[in-house]
Amino acid sequence: MGAGRPIDHVVLPCRDLGEAARFFERLGFQVGRRNRHPWGTENHIVQYPGAFLELIAFAQDFQPPSPDDDAFPFAGFLATKAASDSPSAMVVLRSGDAHADAEAFAQSGIGSWRTLEFSRDTTSATGEVKTVAFGLAFAEAPLMPDIGFFVCQHHRPENFWNADAQRHPNGVRTLTGLVIVADRPGDHADFLHAFSGVRPDTVRPDLLAFRTGDSVLEVMTVEGFRSRFGNERLLWTDRVERSPVLAAIRFGTAEAPGTGTIMRAAGGQPAATGNGWTAAWDGSSGPLLVFEEV
């Protein structure tokens, strides 16, 4: 499969979508306008070259889809996890052909043939309305029930990616990686190999690392996570024995010291780490945001 499926985006459920957007703006990100999906979820997009964050919440009229609805693996997963004290994220890789990936997932035993095709309108900063369209194929990781996994095919990428939206005051240039924390990282090697399309290039009892495109998907222990990122404010550590969690999103910045200055000036509370800064999101129950100089 060559370089495999690179990271496309991360779905971050929010208790308060407006407050989440304001938090990311305080950290120096440019946050897109509010959008609505056909099944009743709403989002804000924070975009980088080739990847993005999707801040998501339920509209007031949202009704959970039935299990036979094509949107169920997406909206149904979010609805099921919404009552959690620690909302669960979804890891999304890029697909060149969602139907082919659904077939591959079915054949490897990590998914079904099911796909979700949808479109929505988006309005640019200049007021121009464009249509974006996507195809999704879903994978299931029984050993990681609190993390959703799917791939995303962009049918009209020219209407989605916007270089102006990727210029962030905090200097962030790219999304460089995701970190999952698990008691036994090796237990997840087979699933992540089938999901990403690449074999791990680091295999240790405390760490798995899969390089997909220009980004890295890692699985590490709590001890390894604390040693690397040095953060004591996290509230999810007691959940890891029950289910792995998406523990960190890594960003590459133009100048890490400058990023910390901008975040503090904007009211953020970054903490220094070995190669940059970290910022806790959603009361520290969500993934840590890690800013590293590249």
Q: pLDDT by residue (tens digit) across 73-89?
A: 999 999 887 656 556 79
Residues 93 and 35 occupy one common structural domain: yes
Of 165, 181, 200, the position where a domain reaches its end is 165
Q: What percent of the chain has pLDDT over 90?
A: 62
| Higher local confidence (pLDDT), 183 or 282 | 183
Domain end, chosen from 105, 138, 165, is at 165
Residue 130 lies in a domain: yes
Biggest CA-to-CA distance, the chain: 52
Same domain, 183 and 289: yes
Label the pairing between strands 90-94 and 35-36: unpaired
- Same domain flag for 256 and 226: yes
pLDDT on residue 1:
40
Task: Count up the domains in the chain and report the number.
Answer: 2
Is residue 104 located within the same domain as residue 191? no
Q: Is the pLDDT of residue 151 over 90?
A: yes
What is the chain's mean pLDDT, rounded?
88
DSSP designation for 156? S
Confidence bin at 234 (pLDDT 50/70/90): low
Inter-CA distances, 107 with 13, 53, 110, 133, 195, Å? 30, 29, 8, 26, 12
- Binning pLDDT at 50, 70 and 90, where does residue 161 land? very high
**Res. 176 pLDDT band, cuts 50 70 90:** very high
Please state, in angstroms and rounded to a whole number, the distance separating the CA atoms of residues 73 and 80. 10
125 pLDDT higher than 70: no
Q: Of 139, 165, 191, which residue constitutes the final position of a domain?
A: 165
Answer yes or no: is 1 within a domain: no
pTM to 2 decimals? 0.92
Query: By 3-state DSSP, what share of the chain in percent is helix, strand and coil, each rounded to 5?
Result: 25, 35, 40
Tell me if 238 is assigned to some domain.
yes
pLDDT tens per residue across span 38-64 = 999 999 999 999 999 999 999 999 998
194/262 same-domain check = yes
Q: What is the pLDDT of residue 254?
A: 80
Which residue range is the domain that position 208 belongs to? 170-293
Same domain flag for 220 and 241: yes
User: In this structure, is residue 91 part of a structural domain?
Assistant: yes
pLDDT grade, residue 243 (50/70/90)? confident
Q: Is the pLDDT of residue 165 over 60?
A: yes
Vertex 87: Cα angle to 22 and 251 (nearest 5):
55
Identify the pLDDT of residue 2: 45
Q: How confident is the model at residue 294 (pLDDT cuts 50, 70, 90)?
A: confident
Band (pLDDT 50/70/90 cuts) for residue 5 is: very high
What whole-number distance in Å separates Cα of residue 104 and Cα of residue 6? Answer: 16
Bridge partners of 138, per DSSP, are 150
**Residues 139 and 236 both lie in one domain:** no
Q: Are residues 201 and 105 in the same domain?
A: no
Same domain, 53 and 196: no
User: What are the phi and psi torsion angles at 286 (to 5°)?
Assistant: -90, 180
Is 2 within a domain? no
- For residue range 198-227, list pLDDT tens digits in order: 999 999 999 999 999 889 999 999 999 988
Cβ atoms of 118 and 37 closer than 8 Å: yes
CATH number of the domain where residue 260 is located: 3.10.180.10
Reported as a pLDDT band with limits 50, 70 and 90, residue 98 is very high
